[in-house]
Structure formats: structure tokens, C-alpha cells
């Protein structure tokens, strides 16, 4: 599958058309041996949208670069006429009456919806395993985890089934699977898009994001999700940009290849003029202490949302690993929860002041994708690997950051590594502009 920009160029040159691309996309998905990537297809909708896009392009009035582009949605987003399963078997089968707000925005830009993709049940794991719909296999190793919770979104793009997919990120659920599958993953600032029609996990931390082959494609999708047809975002080279590299937490238990590829990328950025600064971010250590003493925000809010399910008969039909982790929220008191919420406000302000106009860089995840089978057989190992994968990205969610995960190479087994660029809340355009300029250097081997 080509990138969005490549497909748009072919549409403009009349070298192909949206109907042909939609038919090829649906055929490619149907022929894929990994049946766990998609939870449902929408061929009638896809072909109707493709035909409309083809007419507009043929008449010289395309809606923009996304007109006719195949897109897939994590199964947390409402699609009119379909149930929203959220990776589970316990939710109502009542079809959604209308598209989620961001789905409607992309449809208005001409994007072609081909279906919904798989995910961890209720978006509550960074590994991507799902016993109900199956576990999508990592695009670079069929024995490896895809990452979660937006597992199907990442694998669908990495395997070339669609040029773009949309996911959610509460603790790393866009950036982690993007990193493990070797593609770009953009996590927006929480609140950047309308959340109507998106099944929640944490009202405080939930954000949306884009999976794509390039940052340029992510910029296009981000704009359309906000109702902007033609984004005007400059490519900012790294020269003169201050990149802060934390020395605490994020490199703990980091695999040698992950660190080596990260440092090589930082050296290339420094040679291009980036101003590299290293030091501790005190908030990182305090976040760890707060979570240990009081419990995590996501744990409290997820339990509040799912209490009736995990304490009732429905729990028997849930992934037991998800249900047991959700029940941990019962231990968190209102006093504990508020202590973390109030401390979060202070830590965001302190860290933003420390960063100023700079950005943060560290490995997206400290390890490459681990094998699936041992994690399915050993719950202790599962929980340890899950915590390890979520650790770096979760810091950004707590501190209200936006982030872009960029492929940085691979280990000796060919499993991808990634570098995460992050910025304070609301600096999405500045971050994406920088990511556009840094991407070639981070990817360089």
C-alpha cells in the first residue's frame, strides 16, 4: 500500500481512481492470512464513498488530499449502523446511530472507511493480546506481540492493508504499537478533537492519534479530523531546536539495540544542528511515587467506568487479565485519586516551565516486541512486560504531552525500534512540524 501522498498524486494524475483502490484494498484485506487484524469490514460503505470520491476527482473538484483514501478505525469509534465492541464480547450489539465526530470529519474530507480494526479489550493493555477476536501478529514477526491497545490499527498500516488508521492513546496505545511495528504514530494533545462517539477509558487521559507510513500523512489526517481540509504546516529542520533527553526512568532496563539506535539518531540530529541537553526530569520520579502511593488515574477512572461489569456476571466473559487489572481500581479512594489529580496539575506546570520552547526525546519503548506465547502462558510475565511497555509513553499522558513516535531502526532480529518526540499540551503543530524535519534523520541507517 502506498502512502496517502503517493495515492493522492496518482489520483490527480488519473493513474488510478478511488474505486479501483478501494476494491484492491478490500481484496487485500480479505486475502490476508491474519484474520485477527479487522473485526469487521464495511465494503458497501467503502465502495459508495469511493465512487463519490471518484466522481469528484473526475470533475476536478476533490475535497483534498484525503479524497478517496482508504482508512480503518479502532473498534472504539462509532460507525453508523454497526455496534462498537471495544474489543469485548460484553457490550450491547445495538448499532450506532451515527458516526463518531472524527469519523464524520474524515468522511467529509473524502476518506473511505473500509472497516474496524482489533484492539485489546476495553483498550486496557499495552501488549495487544485479545482472546475474543484473536491477537493480530506483529508485521515484523508473527510470533511477536503487536503492541496495544490499538493493535489492529498499527498492523493494518504496517502490513500495507491501509495507508492510515485511527486509534486512541491513554497510556501509549498509539505510540507503543506504532513503535513495535516500525511505523509513525502520532498522539495528539488530549482534547484536540471532539470525542463524541468514542468509547472511553479515562476521561482525563484519553487522546486520539494517527498511524501512518510518514509524518506528512499523519499531518493530513490530523487536519481532517479537526475539519481542516488543507493544512499549511512547514517542515522545521532540527537546527537550533533544543531537544531535552531525560536521564531518569526512560532508559531503565533498555535493550542495547533500542538505546544504540536512539543514540545514533540523536547524533545525526546533533550534527544537523539540534541543541542536545541531558538531565533529569524530576516529575518522572514523582509520578512513579504518586502511582505507588495512591494508584494511577487510569486505574481509578477505568474502574469507575467498568465497575458494574467487573464486579458482576459479565466479568466471566471478559479477558481475565483485563478484568483483574480493572478491579485494582476498587482500592483507590477518593482522597487518593484527588491527591494524584492535584499533583498532576502542579507537575505539568513545573515541567512545562522547565522545557520552555524545547521538546523531549527518548525511546518510545525500552524493548522490542516480545514473543506472544510466553505472555499467554504466564500472567506474571504478562503484567511485567505490559508495565515495561507502558512506562515511557505513560509519562507523556500524565504530563499532558503530545507525541510522535518515529522508526529508528531495528535490532539483530529485525524487530523495530523507535524514538519518541514529545511536546507540552497544545504544541501539536510545532511538534508535527519538527517531526517532519527530523523524520529522515531518525530513520537513516
Residues, the chain? 445
What integer best gives the mean pLDDT of the chain? 97
Q: What is the pLDDT of residue 180?
A: 98
What span, in angstroms and rounded, lies between the C-alpha atoms of 12 and 62? Answer: 9
Through-space distance between the first and last CA atoms of the chain, rounded to whole angstroms:
23
Q: Evaluate if residue 55 carries a pLDDT over 80.
A: yes
CATH topology of domain 4-225: Amidase signature (AS) enzymes (3.90.1300)
Mean pLDDT of 270-275: 98
Mean pLDDT of 419-443: 98
Q: Evaluate if residue 1 carries a pLDDT over 80.
A: no
Distance, CA of 10 to chain centre: 28
The domain limits of the chain are 4-225, 242-443
pLDDT tens track for 186-227: 999 999 999 999 999 999 999 999 999 999 999 999 999 999
What span, in angstroms and rounded, lies between the C-alpha atoms of 259 and 236? Answer: 25
Mean pLDDT of 332-358: 98
Q: Evaluate if residue 2 carries a pLDDT over 80.
A: yes
Q: Evaluate if residue 38 carries a pLDDT over 70.
A: yes
What span, in angstroms and rounded, lies between the C-alpha atoms of 203 and 370? Answer: 30
Contacts of 230 (CB under 8 A, 6+ apart): 64, 65, 223
Q: What is the pLDDT of residue 445?
A: 65
**Largest interatomic CA distance in the chain:** 62
Contacts of 281 (CB under 8 A, 6+ apart): 244, 246, 248, 249, 351, 354, 360
Q: What is the pLDDT of residue 362?
A: 98
Q: Do domains 4-225 and 242-443 have the same CATH topology?
A: yes
What span, in angstroms and rounded, lies between the C-alpha atoms of 231 and 79? Answer: 25
Q: What is the pLDDT of residue 229?
A: 79
Q: Which residues are catalytic?
A: 74, 149, 173
Q: What is the pLDDT of residue 245?
A: 98
What span, in angstroms and rounded, lies between the C-alpha atoms of 99 and 83? Answer: 11
Mean pLDDT of 83-92: 96
Mean pLDDT of 415-433: 98
Model confidence at 232, in pLDDT bands (50, 70, 90)?
Answer: confident
CA distances for 49 relative to 10, 21, 91, 444, angstroms: 18, 12, 28, 37
Q: Is the peptide bond before 149 cis (omega within 30 degrees of 0)?
A: yes
Q: What is the pLDDT of residue 230?
A: 80
Mean pLDDT of 411-428: 98
pLDDT tens track for 248-260: 999 999 999 999 9
Mean pLDDT of 53-70: 97
Q: Among 106, 122, 95, 107, which residue's Cα sits nearest to residue 40?
A: 95
Mean pLDDT of 234-247: 97
Model confidence at 158, in pLDDT bands (50, 70, 90)?
Answer: very high
CATH of region 242-443: 3.90.1300.10
CA distances for 43 relative to 23, 77, 325, angstroms: 9, 17, 36
Q: Evaluate if residue 32 carries a pLDDT over 80.
A: yes
Q: Among 161, 197, 206, which residue's Cα sits nearest to residue 82?
A: 197
Amino acid at each position: 500500500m502506498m502512502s496517502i501522498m503517493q495515492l493522492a498524486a496518482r489520483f490527480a494524475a488519473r493513474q488510478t481512481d478511488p474505486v479501483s483502490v478501494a476494491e484492491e484494498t478490500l481484496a487485500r484485506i480479505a486475502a490476508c492470512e491474519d484474520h485477527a487484524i479487522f473485526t469487521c469490514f464495511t465494503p458497501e460503505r467503502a465502495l459508495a464513498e469511493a465512487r463519490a470520491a471518484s466522481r469528484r476527482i473526475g470533475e476536478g473538484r476533490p475535497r483534498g488530499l484525503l479524497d478517496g483514501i482508504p482508512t480503518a478505525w479502532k473498534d472504539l469509534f462509532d460507525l453508523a449502523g454497526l455496534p462498537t465492541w471495544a474489543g469485548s464480547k460484553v457490550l450491547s450489539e445495538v448499532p450506532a446511530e451515527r458516526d463518531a465526530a472524527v469519523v464524520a470529519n474524515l468522511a467529509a474530507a473524502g476518506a473511505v472507511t473500509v472497516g474496524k480494526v482489533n484492539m485489546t479489550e476495553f483498550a486496557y493493555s499495552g501488549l495487544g493480546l485479545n482472546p475474543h477476536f484473536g491477537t493480530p501478529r506483529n508485521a515484523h514477526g508473527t510470533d511477536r506481540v503487536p503492541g496495544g491497545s490499538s493493535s489492529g490499527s498499527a498492523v493494518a498500516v504496517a502490513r500495507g492493508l491501509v495507508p492510515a488508521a485511527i486509534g486512541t492513546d491513554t497510556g501509549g496505545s498509539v505510540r507503543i504499537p506504532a513503535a513495535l511495528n516500525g511505523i509513525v504514530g502520532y498522539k495528539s494533545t488530549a482534547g484536540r478533537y471532539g470525542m463524541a462517539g468514542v468509547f472511553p477509558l479515562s476521561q482525563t487521559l484519553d487522546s486520539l492519534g494517527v498511524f501512518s507510513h510518514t509524518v506528512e500523512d499523519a499531518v493530513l489526517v490530523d487536519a481532517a479530523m479537526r475539519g481542516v481540509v488543507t493544512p499549511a504546516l512547514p517542515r522545521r529542520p532540527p537546527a537550533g531546536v533544543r531537544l531535552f533527553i531525560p536521564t531518569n526512568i526512560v532508559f531503565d532496563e533498555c535493550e542495547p539495540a533500542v538505546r544504540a539506535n536512539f543514540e545514533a539518531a540523536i547524533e545525526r540530529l546533533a550534527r544537523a544542528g539540534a541543541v542536545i541537553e541531558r538531565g533529569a526530569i524530576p516529575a518522572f520520579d514523582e509520578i512513579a511515587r504518586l502511582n505507588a502511593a495512591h494508584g494511577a488515574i487510569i486505574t481509578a477512572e477505568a474502574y469507575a467506568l467498568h465497575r458494574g461489569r467487573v464486579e458482576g456476571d459479565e466479568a466471566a466473559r471478559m479477558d481475565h487479565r483485563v478484568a483483574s487489572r480493572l478491579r485494582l481500581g476498587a482500592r483507590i479512594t477518593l482522597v487518593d485519586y484527588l491527591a494524584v489529580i492535584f499533583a498532576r496539575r502542579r507537575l505539568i506546570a513545573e515541567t512545562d516551565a522547565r522545557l520552555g520552547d524545547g521538546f523531549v526525546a527518548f525511546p518510545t519503548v525500552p524493548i522490542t516486541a516480545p514473543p506472544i506465547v510466553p505472555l499467554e502462558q504466564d500472567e506474571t510475565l504478562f503484567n511485567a512486560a505490559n508495565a515495561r511497555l507502558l512506562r515511557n509513553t505513560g509519562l507523556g499522558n500524565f504530563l499532558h504531552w503530545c507525541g510522535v513516535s518515529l522508526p529508528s531502526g531495528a535490532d539483530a532480529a529485525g524487530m523495530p525500534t523507535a524514538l519518541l518526540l514529545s511536546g507540552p499540551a497544545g504544541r501539536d503543530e510545532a511538534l508535527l512540524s519538527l517531526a517532519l524535519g527530523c523524520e529522515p534523520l531518525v530513520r537513516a541507517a
